[in-house]
Amino acid sequence: MPTEPSSTGEKLQTRAVALFRRIRRSPLVANTISYTINFGLQLVIQLGFFMLISRTLGAHGYGVFVSITSVSIIAALVIGLGSEYLLVQRVAVDPKSFPVYFGHSLVMMALTFPLVGLPTLFFLHYLLGDAIALLPLCIISLSDLLFTRLVVLSANAYMAFDKAHRQLFINVFAAASKLVFLLAASLLVTGLTVEVWAWWFFASGAVSASVAIFFVIRDLGRPVLTIVREDLKLSGLYCLEFLSIGSMKDLDKPVVVHALGAAAGGQYAAGFRIIDAASAPVRAFLYATYTRHFRYAEAGRGSSIAFGLKLLPIATGLAIPVAIVLFVGADYIPLILGADFADTPGVVRTLALYPLLMGLSGVGADILRAVGLQTIRMSLLIVTSLALIPVVWFGATTGGLVGAALMRFALQVVLIIVTWAIVLRQKNQKA
């Protein structure tokens, strides 16, 4: 009698240990953990950067800075014409093709950089007017147009090989570089302004891009400088898709600045920055599962859709606790950022469920992309990103910051409903 419970307990313990070892050896679990650490570290670093720069520059200065970076990041998505995302799809299936697609990405970026850079600078000068001098405006914008694109390309190169730990290093180093340069600037420069910070921001970007490209060449190989002409159409579709995604993510900030002023825009951007940082667990999960959609799609459309449906409960489980923390903790934001950000809590509470929307939208988008419905997905994103400007403008002019956030939230809900209606329709058809 005494030995039976002990024997049963030992069996349960053995099974538990074996299960834990199997889970630990799972590439999906390992990559999810790596991406969670990746975005978790970025979350801590970005929050530190955000709190320091918002307090240093104030709502007005931060509003000007975030307007430049938001527009520049959107414009930068055109540089390379989506070649860095094409690289992920092709190399995930055929790793030996990396040198060709890496070289293709670099060539396409070099060709498109001047074509995108000049119009972006002209537009920013028109948008901000006398709020910032032309030279520092150009310096901030060029940092994102050039250096950030190289960092993204490097991170995508490691993603294609499922080397999440290397992608972790690239992303965290880039975020940490900005924070370190900001700390140095705030300590060495009395009364730091956007104009002065521009040069420090440019230097941090140059360091991050140089380190990222160095490690990619060292670990994955040298590029073969060429243009893969037969993939230009697919690459262009990626460009349009991620341009629309970037517009959906950042275009509302300059719209609010233009409608309500730089100070109000800074408060709105601060709220969205907090939401975006808090979405790190959901984003990590989406990154960890991204390449697997393409592999499941090789077995048929139904296989990819079934895989995506299994991800929904996990994405929801990651997002709901985040939403609760955001809603409850919103009132403490002005105590941390300062009185300049008194209206930011309303934005955060309105967008508290945004991490859930990110998860639902991301899984649906990955399914459509993997099963060959890229054109449909792209069309949805283009329509919603174009609608973002008048919708957010209407919300801002009628309801202030909360009105802008509410309209932004509603538009994302519409996108999710239409996306999943298409996915479920495909599920009911034969693969």
Crossing angle of helices 27-76 and 194-220, in 10° steps, is 130
Higher pLDDT, 12 or 153: 153
Confidence of residue 20 (pLDDT cuts 50, 70, 90): very low
**Range among 129-133, 196-200, 248-252 with highest mean pLDDT value:** 196-200
* Domain boundary assignment for the chain: 30-250, 261-431
Handedness of CA 282, 280, 216, 169 (dihedral sign): negative
pLDDT at residue 309, as a whole number: 81
Q: 386, 385, 365, 389: which is closest to 377 by C-alpha? A: 365
Sign of the Cα pseudo-torsion (324, 326, 329, 330, in order): negative
DSSP string spanning 276-307? HHHTHHHHHHHHHHHHHHHHHHTT-HHHHHHH
pLDDT surpassing 60 at residue 21: no
Question: Per residue in 312-360, pLDDT tens?
Answer: 888 888 889 989 999 988 888 888 777 778 888 998 999 899 889 888 8
pLDDT of residue 109: 93
Distance of CA 395 to the CA centre of its chain: 24
Q: Model pTM?
A: 0.69
> Which pLDDT belongs to residue 143?
92
Q: How far apart are CA 23 and CA 5, in angstroms?
A: 27
Query: Quick one: pLDDT at residue 3?
Result: 47
Task: Tokens 């850079």: give the residue.
Answer: 117
Whether the per-residue pLDDT at 428 is higher than 70: the answer is no
Is the dihedral angle over the CA atoms 350, 290, 158, 36 positive or is it negative? positive
CB proximity list for 414: less than 8 A, separation 6 or greater = 384
Q: What number is the average pLDDT over the span 206-231?
A: 91
- In the prediction, which pLDDT does 5 show? 46
Q: In terms of DSSP H, where are the helices of 351-373?
A: 354-370
Greater model confidence, 292 or 361:
361
Average pLDDT along the chain: 82
**Separation between Cα atoms, residue 286 and residue 307, nearest integer Å:** 13
Q: What does the pLDDT read at residue 202?
A: 95
pLDDT (mean) for 182-196: 89
